Amino acid sequence: MSAGVGELAAWLEECAAEIEIWLSSWVAGLEERLQGRPPLAEAMAYAVLGGGKRLRPALVVASAVACNPEKAGDFGARTDLVRDAACAVELIHCYSLVHDDLPAMDDDDLRRNRPTCHRVYGDALAILAGDALLTDAFSILAGGVGSPEGRHGKIPSDAVARLRLVEMLSRAAGSAGMVGGQVVDVSRSAVGGGLDAVEGVHCLKTGQLLAFSCAAGAEAVGAGRELVSNLWSFGETVGLIFQIADDILDETADPAEMGKRTGKDRERGVATVTGAVGLQGARLRARELAGEAASLLGGLGESAALLRSLPAWLVARSE
């Protein structure tokens, strides 16, 4: 009932291409709406269309397929809610990268093999483009962006599901979620606290947005409360594995291959799993978490095959 790692990799690539189309179409609408403010539209497009694995939106799609394949729709014909949740979470992810790269934060010059947003557009515009992406993500969830009815447009029939998604995304991304984790990271206050402290930060910084992605896919196809909640926990666990893989790659990989500077976390004194339990300990922990993740999908059948192979794919990435 689990797809092969190669099969998942191929599916993720196909899914990323689908998501690229959605994001390009959103950016095209943006450029139309922002006539007269071209620098903002440009900086936002640069931040959104810079490639990347599109892991978070792919998780939205994979979870929707896992919970209700018919309602999730096929390639090229997803339901609005699946597409909107996927685009919204990717906008949040992109904004967080733009703000994280700022000189006042991580001060990075390179992201996905290109100069970072503030290196191209300046710090002020990068801050504002990030703010706009964050805000517009909620416009997308509200189902209102791009509608010809304008600001008092008609309310979609799936209003309750959309409001739940707003609640879930704001919680995952806000002070009690991603931003909260970023603060601990910036203040270095998890350093020296051992595995629990590091995983606490990772669960916020990376875990909450992946948790949202998995739960949002379920919510978007009308899954029940318990399944949504299990997929939230699955996403949190996947987030921990993802971050371990990232920590391992940051120690071992070639910068050219990563498209960004490596070894920087160690240099900066950021708390990492490899720092807390060593390279081998980190690999063991990732495999342990993969087992926990699998058990959270127990209630799902064949439709969850792709989702089920995700932990193994993440573990393989770093080995």
Among 39, 194, 255, 278, binds a copy of itself (CB under 8 A): 39
Quote helix, strand, coil % in the chain, to nearest 5.
Answer: 75, 0, 25
End-to-end, the C-alpha distance of the chain in Å comes to: 24
Among 2, 116, 182, 272, binds a copy of itself (CB under 8 A): 182
C-beta separation of 15 from 318 below 8 A: no
C-beta separation of 218 from 292 below 8 A: no
Among 69, 115, 180, 222, binds a copy of itself (CB under 8 A): 180
Residues 76-95 that bind a copy of itself (CB under 8 A): 95
Q: Which is nearer to a copy of itself, 11 or 121 (CB)?
A: 121
- As measured in angstroms, the least distance from the Cβ of 27 to a copy of itself is 11
Dihedral angle over CA of 287, 243, 1, 57, nearest 10: 180
Q: Is the dihedral of CA 227, 230, 236, 242 positive or negative?
A: negative
Q: Which is nearer to a copy of itself, 70 or 196 (CB)?
A: 196
Residues 193-212 that bind a copy of itself (CB under 8 A): 200
Coil, helix or strand at residue 132? helix
Of 49-57, 181-189, 260-268, 303-311, the window that binds a copy of itself (rule: CB under 8 A) is 181-189
Closest CA relative to residue 222, chosen from 87, 82, 78, 57: 82
Query: Is 253 a residue that touches a copy of itself (CB under 8 A)?
Result: no
- As measured in angstroms, the least distance from the Cβ of 15 to a copy of itself is 26
Residues 126-155 that bind a copy of itself (CB under 8 A): 127-128, 130-132, 134-136, 138-139, 141-145, 151-153, 155
Q: What is the secondary structure of 234-285 as a DSSP string?
A: HHHHHHHHHHHHHHHHHHHS-HHHHTS--SHHHHHT---HHHHHHHHHHHHH
Q: Residue 24: left (phi > 0), alpha (psi -120 to 50), or beta? A: alpha
Q: Which is nearer to a copy of itself, 171 or 261 (CB)?
A: 171
Length of the chain: 319
Q: What character string, x for contact with a copy of itself (CB under 8 A) and - otherwise, covers 157-176? A: --xx-xxx-xxxxxxxxxxx
Binding site for a copy of itself (CB under 8 A): 30, 33-34, 36-37, 39-41, 44, 95, 99, 102, 104-105, 122-125, 127-128, 130-132, 134-136, 138-139, 141-145, 151-153, 155, 159-160, 162-164, 166-176, 179-180, 182-184, 186-187, 200, 225, 228-229, 232
